Structure 1
Amino acid sequence: MNDTFLRACRGEKTDYTPIWMMRQAGRYLPEYQKVRGNVTFLELCKSPELCVEVTLQPIDLLNMDAAILFSDILILMEAMGAPLDFHEGKGPVFATTVRDQASLDKLIIPDPDEATGFVMETIKLLKKELKVPLIGFAGAPFTCATYLIEGGSSKVFWETKKLMFTQPELFHGLMEKITEATILYLQAQARAGAQALQLFDSWAGILAPCDYEEFAYPYVRKILASLKQYDVPLIYFANNGATLLEYSAESGADVVGLDWRINIKDAIARVGNKAVQGNIDPFALLLPEDKLKNRIQRLLDDAKDARGHIFNLGHGIHQFTPPAQAKLAVDLVHELSSK
């Protein structure tokens, strides 16, 4: 197996900088669109054989150094008893929101092997196929809570912050329940064979640092602490989180994920003895080859003092990105970092 990604996570010497991309198995690939054209998104997430097929696509087509399990962070919320649907152009929708004690009481902490057995089956099947490490993942509690409270995506997070500030006991109760479910879910993924685990905190950056410390951070730390027994690298990615880097570094993660809103050299100085993952703007993949090469070289140079560096985008690859540009980026990273 090519274990370059795992060695970079652990801060060990590598022959080149490994690369994978968030949302690398997804809509920008025609091969994915072909599979997706026959099923709904949720049906795809719950079909292990199809999940294996789309997880493998960017590995085979683009030569990525790690695979990430094809799933969605809200699959666990559905397993907790929140009816979930995905609408084209609108994204995830929860018909029933969680804004009072009665709706919180209806949420359960599911047995992950029973309620999300299709995820564990996907992991087991992938382990037989892959020649690179497999990353399992979950959404961080704050990010998942926003979807349950808002009923879907949001731009201002009015309902989330209103609940947080006016009913803090209820908010913490929701966070505790999501945290317990997430611990069991990620532990099950590790037992099934995931070789690294990433916690996605897509909306952490909407919080002031003091509010993050009170309402989100304790739950991130609890989850990551519960996973140490499995001896797999742990990655924490707080999107729009340049103001939260010191928290990320002390969260218990082995690797701090970075978006593109901070120079990676500055981020490395702030996180200290931690590996980092990131941090090129996903839209930079649209640059012509010479400029993309220069951008990648500069990022590699700025990351040279990191304990370990995994090249990645600062967020998910955009659905309209030409696959040839993604492949070019992978080839450039491999070429430039191996010199």
Structure 2
Amino acid sequence: MAETIVNRRIIMASRPSGMPGPENFSLEEVEEPLQPPTGVRLKTLFFSLDPYMRGRMDEGPSYAQALSPGDVMEGGSVGEVIASADPAFSKGDIVLAYSGWQTHPVVKAKGLRKLDPSLAPVSTALGVLGMPGMTAYTGLLNIGHPKAGETLVVAAASGAVGSAVGQIGKIKGCRVVGIAGGAEKTRYVREELGFDVALDHRAPDFAEQLKAACPQGIDIYFENVGGRVWDLVFPLLNDFARVPVCGLISQYNGFAPRAPELPSVPELMEQVLVKRLRLQGFIVSDFSAQQNEFLHDMAGWISSGQVKYREDVVDGLEKAVPAFIGLLQGRNFGKLLVRP
């Protein structure tokens, strides 16, 4: 009898309305042959939890196909090959995959990338040397065009993307203001990552602090949050300011009502025109041709100590759902990973 293995996986059981809850997910266990007929069988070492996954749970047009009820929750992963039907991969290889929230998936060999554990911890392929790091690198450099002496403001500055954006901005000579939630995160952004200023968006006088921190206005705003933070940043944007729009995590679970004194869409567009602002949304795959350049530069900056990173690792597949809900509420601290 052929050897079998149990693959444990988390599926989307139903579409959420607003903030996802445990009822929108289900844990399945499926016994399967260890040796796949095609592709490779992995033992997942880490998988990533990212804000964009919330968007995949909604029905409707987007830049990627939505999940359907019954689908495995998707996302990047790092795994060890435990069985292979493809000669390009051998047992023991460590690979970067896109296999989602499961313990022992079968994946197609095409698209897998071998990792060298001697060069960097393999978990970094999901963080600072992976999609979040490349998102920061390509969005800031291609859309933000940072110049020495400019003021760069970064939302969600303690997160995987925002922390890299601010540090790259410092390398490029910018004055960097980070926005995060809570005293611990703002201390980390300022003291460990080296941002010039770190502000707590939960502070009652946040609006006044932001204005005081940007006496010459804002030249680049890296948008990860939207909502109230954007409302307060927008009036401070200088002529010809650039706004790479990477994420809108405050809006993923529904739109909060806006205060009546805030500018309407026509008024906002008037300011975009008058100030000649550049607002550009982007997806990291838009700049996939720059992957080798990114890996070279980022690895060098990490080696030299110019870029630091932090990981928030959760142990146990069962912990993925509460960790993901916490991510959408800003509870994580650093790049959020699950070690199933």
TM-score w.r.t. structure 1 length? 0.28
More strand by share: 2
More helix by share: 1
Q: Indicate the structure whose relative CO is greater, using CA pairs within 8 Å and at least 6 residues apart.
A: 1
